[in-house]
Amino acid sequence: MPQLIWTPAALLDVQQLYRFLAEKDLNSAKRAVATIRNCIKIIAHQPHIGRPAKDMAPEFREWPIDFGNSGYLVLYRFNGVTAVILAIRHQSETGY
């Protein structure tokens, strides 16, 4: 099973997402973070689950995570041994 590493930037993305949602609904914020963490664990078992990231080198992949009426995109890099979580953004945001 590949090693799974979170970058500081990806962890910050989750913290910011949590703070944003918690202002409106604390339970929703907790559920969103739990959903993201659980889905990212799957990447460690199935690192090719994500689609190739557009306009990036082949080792960069993105995986959509459904949440509510929308969801999030996880950007990660898989080099055959390690999956590095690089960024997480809401599906309505552009760029990483």
Which CATH number applies to 3-90: 3.30.230.10, 3.40.449.10, 3.40.190.10, 3.30.2310.20?
Answer: 3.30.2310.20
SS3 track for the chain:
CCEEEECHHHHHHHHHHHHHHHCCCHHHHHHHHHHHHHHHHHHHHCCCCCEECCCCCCCEEEEEEEECCEEEEEEEEECCCEEEEEEEEECCCCCC
Does the pLDDT at position 96 exceed 80?
no
pLDDT for the residue numbered 38: 95
Q: Could you tell me the residue ranges of all domains in the chain?
A: 3-90
pLDDT for the residue numbered 69: 87
pLDDT tens-digit readout, 23-41: 999 999 999 999 999 999 9
